[in-house]
Amino acid sequence: MADAAKLVELIRGGMVESVHRGHIVVCDSAGDILAAWGDPSAVIYPRSACKMIQALPLVESGAAAASGLGQQHLALACASHQGAMVHSDLATEWLVGLGLNDDDLRCGTQIPGDKKARALMREAFEPSCQVHNNCSGKHAGFLTLNKHLGGNTEYIAIDHPVQKAVRSAFEDMIGAESAFWGIDGCSAPNFSCEIGQFAQALAKMTAPDQLGKIRGDAANTLISAMLEYPLLVAGETRACTELMVASQGKAAIKTGAEGVFAAILPGQGIGIALKIEDGNFRASEAAMAAILVRLGVLESGDPVVQKRLCPPELNRRNIAAARIQVRDEVYRGGAKL
């Protein structure tokens, strides 16, 4: 990517050992760029960081209401969860309510990231299922929409009514046609956009009056669900969940693969999109924490924030041998943007 900025460094023995470059764009709901590092026109795949947008058709079509979905289900639809029982049990209950089962999902099996869930499954000799996949909530949402639309079982196909609806919503929100699409880790299509367009789309979700009643209500419902159930969006020890809790309802935060991070600040009417060029999550978490501190939704001294903002790199003897540091031109000591 051209014009990526140096955002995060690894410092060892007083020397910069590694540098993570990337792009950050902060937009308001009017579409104006408030701050940017790197190139706002850099084209990215937003990956799972755009699940809130992918879930818009589920709500605005009336499918969610027709299936009796609550806020917990909608939070899971926006989630990249770690397969804890709270996640897999809810996904299973959701499928049963649709008259479906694990075999109807198309996201693939995944070993849970949650240690307790893994241990319990190991003790019971239970294999991993698709409900343990970090995207099972999104796919349960796709199946709910598919039931409403009457499509065939292969709801992840690019020409399927479900994915046509998702693409239409995504392109409407970014205000442009998507130039590329690729297969995501969960087998569903993921559509490209400029990172600045993604930040603008996220900011639009804070201004429901500008989106029209149906889409505006859907956007507000999804953000509210994420803020109400942050544990379902990721899980214990995960950055999305911990930082949302620390923000005390001021930010809906969502990560994606390959160093993408997104945040929606309803009270400030702001959207943030971030992409680390090399796809490193330690850098994306540090950079997002830094920007959220500068926007006043996180306190720099909060241990949860420090855990992401400047984490030590521990060696095999648990000695802090190096540290992560957000570059001064990004963090500015936490000065307000």
Q: How confident is the model over 88-120, as pLDDT tens digits?
A: 999 999 999 999 999 999 999 999 999 999 999
Q: Mean pLDDT throughout 80-87?
A: 97
Whether the per-residue pLDDT at 39 is higher than 70: the answer is yes
Mean pLDDT of 312-336: 96
Predicted TM-score (pTM) of the model is 0.96
Please tell me the predicted confidence (pLDDT) of residue 1. 52
Predicted pLDDT of residue 24 = 98
Q: Is the pLDDT of residue 71 over 60?
A: yes
> CA separation (Å) from 117 to 4, 39, 75, 151, 271?
39, 41, 20, 34, 34
State how far the alpha carbon of 275 is from the alpha carbons of 84, 152, 234, in Å.
27, 35, 19
Identify the H or E element spanning 271.
Answer: strand 270-276
> pLDDT, tens digit, for every residue of 169-226?
999 999 999 999 999 999 999 999 999 999 999 999 999 999 999 999 999 999 999 9
Q: Say if residues 192 and 218 touch (Cβ distance below 8 Å).
A: no
Write down the pLDDT at residue 167: 98
For residue 52, the surrounding DSSP H or E stretch is: helix 51-54
- Residue 147: which pLDDT band, with cuts at 50, 70 and 90? very high
- The CATH code that applies to domain 5-334 is 3.40.710
Q: Please report the pLDDT score of residue 170 as a whole number.
A: 98
Residues 6+ apart with CB under 8 A from 316: none
Mean pLDDT for 253-261 is 98
* Residue 2 confidence (pLDDT): 60
